[in-house]
Amino acid sequence: MKLLFLLKEGFAGFRRARLAVTITLATITLALALLGLFGLVAQNLSDSFQRVFYQIRLEVFVDPSLGESDFQTLKSEIEGIEAVQSAEYISPRAALQEFEKDFGKDLVAVLESNPLPPSFRVMLKTGRSRPEAIQAVVRRIEALKAVDEVVYPENLIRLLDKYFLLGIVIAAGLGAAIFIISTLLIFNTIRLAIHSRQRVIEIMRLVGATDAFIKAPFIFEGVLQGMIGGLLAAGLLWLAGDLVRYLFLPGLAVPWLYLAGLVITGILLGFIGSYLSVGKYLNT
Amino acid sequence: MIELFNVSVKIDNRPVLNDISLQITKGEFVYLIGKTGAGKTTLMRLIYMDLFPAKGNVIVDRYSSSTIRRKEIPFLRRRVGVVFQDFKLLPDRTVFDNVAFALQVIGAPKRTIRARALSALSRVGLNHKRYQMPHHLSGGEQQRAAIARALVNEPFILLADEPTGNLDPQVSTEILALLESINRSGTAVLMATHNYGLIRQFPHRTLLVENGKITAGEAP
């Protein structure tokens, strides 16, 4: 009976204060959508950066006089380095084919011999490593016998790393600001909605309702609003993501985890906001 | 059953009541008179423990202001009915729901709620309007609904803070007659009022709140 009454009161709150509830829901939805939008943009930018890093290959040129078995040993040695994902042997012939494919020129016809040395194309394990870490790997490979030279886009890595770090700092600051603003906005809206019903709280106190009994319907309502706001925000983002994917960015990712996170954030903010707001009226 | 011992109250550092002692016995009817701001409402708030004395002690039923715990206050309030000049009804519920609300929020069983709400509405003569919204009622009827809500928990005392302040003389007399009938059935009544005509018409023990003190008074 008690639970039924509390649930009924919670739902009835929606019906009784339609305007306040609509404003609260709209605020929660927009605040969470803003938060989610920021998260998605940050996530997709970060993914793009990581993809660039992931595509970075070290070209390891080796002594052309080595025999087949030496290449196998060297491959094992390179792959034995902790940060290395794989090392692919590129024979001079394969290198020539790639060159011709990329540049369309018959190199042998011009130079009368294949000038390209045998090499290994080394892929690193982590999607993104600091330039120092990549440099350390390069040094270890260079130290191997029979390795002539390691070529890799060092400047590009440094540039990307610098902007990636800057991006993280800006995103963290912006994310924190958006989160704080969203939270305050949601709290304040819930507080106003509860304020508009302080007579109910006053009467409940007057006729001897316990604090828990007074709080429960408001908290239930807050959680419900947070959940609905979170679902609406998740729906909006999902639709917006679909639209952007269709129109501009086919690779755009809208992970389900984000959408679920928005709903959970909504529920938590609804709970905390209503708990604090109704508590304020009980302590006066 | 209600006793105040050497009670002093300050609100925002301003002394409102100063070293007052008072006793209201079971089933008594007492008027509180005095100028606006003299401390009549403060005295009532002390009784339903919405306010605590800076000095002294307030005993209500088996609760004492000096020892009561916060979580016991709701249980004290179930034993004390309160009505106000502005009725304090919930405008978005019917008369019946307003009265039933006082039982719902203390977790009473559904069947009890219906029976007791109907009984309280009968006592104040408002059963026929139980499905109306408060704004469809006259002032006197709204006050009756508020009284029914205060009575539904069967309190031992009814605190009425200027219950006729918003009502015309004829309706005021009806409300006082209702309070008297409630009192005759054993519920004590403490009523703050400026309406001295009513006091003369329905004479009872009268207390004057003045300059922070309470003295035996009589309607001028």
The answer to whether A142 faces chain B, any CB pair under 8 Å, is no
CA distance B176 to A161: 83
Residue B22 contacts residue B4 (beta carbons within 8 Å): yes
Higher pLDDT, A166 or B209: B209
Q: In the predicted model, what is the mean pLDDT of residues B4-10?
A: 95
List chain A residues with pLDDT less than 70.
Answer: 1-2, 107, 126-129, 284
Looking at domain A57-151, its CATH architecture is: 2-Layer Sandwich (3.30)
| B98: nearest CA partner in chain A | A203
Whether pLDDT at B119 is above 70: yes
Q: Which residues from chain B sit within 8 angstroms of residue A200, using beta carbons?
A: 90
Question: A219 CB contacts (<8 Å, ≥6 apart)?
Answer: A271, A274, A275, A278
What is the reported pLDDT for A194? 84
Q: Which of B106, B109, B149 sits opposite A209 (nearest CB)?
A: B106
Say whether B78 and A202 touch across the interface (CB within 8 A). no
List of chain B residues whose C-beta atoms are within 8 Å of the C-beta of residue A16: 92
pLDDT of residue B219: 64
A2 close to B (CB below 8 A) = yes
Q: Which helix (H) or strand (E) holds B214?
A: strand B213-216
pLDDT of residue A126: 67
CA distance A29 to chain B (A): 27
Determine contact: B116 vs chain A, CB below 8 A.
no
Q: Nearest C-alpha of chain A: how many angstroms from B75?
A: 6
State both tokens at B65: 């202001």
**Residues B69-105 pLDDT 10s:** 999 999 999 999 999 999 999 888 999 999 999 998 8
How close is the nearest chain B Cα to the Cα of A190, in Å? Answer: 20
Rounded Cα gap, residues A195 and A204, in angstroms: 14
Q: Per the structure block, which two tokens stand in for A279?
A: 């508590």
Q: Considering only CB atoms, which chain B residues are within 8 Å of A1?
A: 107, 109-110
| Average pLDDT rounded to a whole number, residues B121-134 | 95
Banded model confidence at residue B65, pLDDT cuts 50, 70, 90:
very high
Question: Of A91-95, A271-275, B127-131, B215-219, where does mean pLDDT reach its minimum?
Answer: B215-219
Which tens digit of pLDDT belongs to each residue from B162-179? 999 989 999 999 999 999
Q: Is A143 on the interface with B (CB under 8 A)?
A: no
Q: Which of A8, A15, A207 to mutate to test the interface with B (most CBs of B within 10 A)?
A: A207
Judge whether residue B53 has pLDDT over 70: yes
Q: Which residues of B touch A208 (CB under 8 A)?
A: 74-78, 102, 105-106, 153
Burial class of residue B112, CB neighbours in 10 A (0-12, 13-18, 19+): exposed
Residue B206 φ/ψ, nearest 5 degrees: -125, 135
| CB-based contact B78 A208, cutoff 8 Å | yes
- Please give the pLDDT value at position A214: 87
Q: Does B92 touch chain A (CB under 8 A)?
A: yes
Whether A5 contacts chain B with CB within 8 A: yes
pLDDT value at position B67?
Answer: 96
Q: Find the residue in A nearest to B107 (Cα).
A: A2
Q: Using alpha carbons only, what angle is made at residue A58 by residues A117 and A101, rounded to the nearest 5 degrees?
A: 55
Chain B residues in contact with A2 by the CB 8 A cut-off are 107
**Residues A208, B105: C-beta atoms closer than 8 Å:** yes
Tokens of B218: 């009589």
Predicted ipTM?
0.88
Q: Helices B95-104 & B139-151, crossing angle to 10 degrees?
A: 20
A104 C-beta neighbours (distance < 10 Å), count: 7
Q: How confident is the model at residue A127, as a pLDDT? A: 58
Between chain A and chain B, the number of residue pairs with CB atoms below 8 A apart is 52
Q: Do B92 and A203 touch (CB under 8 A)?
A: no
Q: Mark yes or no for CB contact B88/A206 under 8 Å.
A: yes
Q: Taking CA atoms, what residue in B is nearest to A217? A: B105
| Chain A residues whose beta carbon lies within 8 Å of the beta carbon of residue B114 | none
User: Which residue does chain A place closest to B149, by CA atoms?
Assistant: A207
| B89, B104, B105, B133, best to mutate vs chain A, most A CBs in 10 Å | B105
Distance, CA of B50 to CA of A133 (rounded, Å)? 67
Considering chain A, tell me which residue range(s) the CATH 3.30.70.3040 domain(s) occupy.
57-151
Interface test with B, best of A5, A197, A206, A218 (most B CBs within 10 A): A206
The chain A residue lying nearest B155, using CA atoms, is A207
How confident is the model over B103-130, as a mean pLDDT?
A: 92
With beta carbons under 8 A apart, name residues in chain A contacting B87: none
